Amino acid sequence: MNRLPLNFACWDYDRMRPLMDGRVQVDGVALNFLNLPVEETFFRMARYREFEVSEMSLSSYCISLTKPEKPFIAIPVYPSRFFRHSCIYVNANSGIKSPKDLIGKKIASPEYQMTAPVWIRGILSDHYGVPVDAQPYLFGGEEETGRIEKIKLTLPENIKVSPIGPDQTLSQMLYEGELDALYTARMPSSYLKGDGKVLRLFENYPEVERNYFHETGIFPIMHVVVIRRDVYEANRWVAQSLMKAFLEAKKIAYQDLYETAALKTMLPWLTAHVEDAKRLFGDDWWSYGLEGNMKALETFTRYHHEQGLSPTKLEVADLFAPESLEFFKI
């Protein structure tokens, strides 16, 4: 039987490793797993559409749906989820002690359209009274110079976004007080110095994030898996084959985490972490599909629209290939 060759670009996650090492096969597909860091995958897919299938920022994907050609179609697989209260960093001399102190300050992100800052700005607006347009935003490389928005943005007039200088980095600017706050996915090196000049806004973030989940039921979704639309249109069965394989790979990852004969991950109390997650989220705490994820997706698409990244609020039902949703009815 001939198998359809597909290049799949994704990072090395435990829930993807069974696909990378061949323990899980995709029906009808010869999958070539390309283990790439997220920034490289996103840039190459968004700009050049290099891969047949890839991990993609949820925000970048939503922006792609506002373009006439709609170059990608997603399936409801979420390689990355992350509570982002921990990802607001402030200069210790900025005077920022509480979320409302962010209003009017110098704030930056590596890209305005990044999924992590979309969640952060939305949470700050919904739960802490910090309007999205209360200040302009800067963007640029966090540790290296020259980063640009990977997708051209058309923003409303009330949203002001501009680049930092060509020789500047966000991490160093935050350290030196040229920025008051940084919303980012990666922990900046200036925080890792540990000298107290850069702090988290929420140093008690585990407690804050648990309270957020108890209040909202949302475990924020960061990334989806997308299929290049030309590949999908020619082989619509691929969406369901991929869905089946991703679910099987995740099942194996769950089993590995709860193996007690020997720890497969270097966390001394891994079993306790797993049992705690089950108590908080239920057995399938990293769920795929729409069931259990509608509120997170509805909230994100609302934030995306409110922050000027999509001209109208996207309908969640329109985000995903129908074949991938049908799989859950089998």
What digits encode the pLDDT tens for the residues 100-121?
999 999 999 999 999 999 999 9
Domain match, 28 and 101 both: no
N- to C-terminal Cα distance for the chain?
25
Domain match, 256 and 166 both: no
Pairing of strands 88-91, 181-183: antiparallel
Provide the pLDDT for residue 3. 97
Strand ordering across the sheet containing 4-10 = 29-35, 4-10, 53-57, 223-228, 72-75
Mean pLDDT of the chain: 97
Answer with the one of 216, 243, 263 that is the final residue of a domain. Answer: 216
Domain match, 308 and 185 both: no
- Name which of 102, 158, 94, 93 is nearest 127 in CA terms: 102
Residue 166 CA to residue 144 CA, distance in Å, equals 10
Residue 179 CA to residue 122 CA, distance in Å, equals 20
Provide the pLDDT for residue 232. 98
Mean pLDDT, residues 258-274:
96
Domain match, 68 and 182 both: no
pLDDT of 62 > 70? The answer is yes
Answer with the one of 159, 186, 216 that is the final residue of a domain. Answer: 216
Domain match, 203 and 276 both: no
The domain that holds 153 is classified in CATH as: 3.40.190.10
Contact in structure between 122 and 303 (CB atoms under 8 Å): yes
| Sign of the four-CA dihedral 306, 307, 308, 310 | negative
How big is the chain, counted in residues?
A: 330
Provide the pLDDT for residue 194. 97
Domain match, 195 and 230 both: no
pLDDT in tens, 170-187: 999 999 999 999 999 999
Domain match, 320 and 224 both: yes
Domain match, 186 and 256 both: no
Domain match, 113 and 185 both: yes
Domain match, 117 and 57 both: no
pTM across the whole model: 0.97
Domain of residue 176: give its range: 85-216
Domain match, 235 and 197 both: no
HSE at residue 243, side-chain half, CA atoms within 13 A, is 23
Domain match, 142 and 174 both: yes
pLDDT of 93 > 70? The answer is yes
Provide the pLDDT for residue 152. 87
Tally the domains of the chain.
2
pLDDT of 86 > 80? The answer is yes
Answer with the one of 216, 234, 269 that is the final residue of a domain. Answer: 216
Provide the pLDDT for residue 326. 83
Which residues, in sequence order, are bridge partners of residue 53? 8, 227
Instruction: Give φ, ψ of 166 to 5 degrees.
Output: -65, -20
Structure tokens that stand for 146 in this block = 């020259």
